Amino acid sequence: VSISGDRIQAAADWLGVAQWGTNTLGVLAGVQSDPVRLALLALCAPEYVVNA
């Protein structure tokens, strides 16, 4: 397991998202080296917005 992958899963856990969708996961993977962007995009992701 990579540190970057752990960040994506940690964002899901932090926000209470059971699973990222394919499109969202692709976007998050593209910014996984930038924790600030990762957090901001995770907060705007449809999987989180629908659950919030």
Q: How many domains does the chain have?
A: 1
Range of the domain at 34: 3-51
Give every CB contact of residue 7 below 8 A, 6+ residues apart in sequence.
32, 35, 38
Q: What is the pLDDT of residues 28-40, one digit of tens each?
A: 999 999 999 999 9
Q: What is the reported pTM?
A: 0.84
At position 39, the amino acid (one-letter code) is: A
- As a whole number of angstroms, the distance between CA 4 and CA 51 comes to 24
Residue 47 or 5, more confident: 47
Nearest to 28 by CA among 2, 50, 51, 52: 2
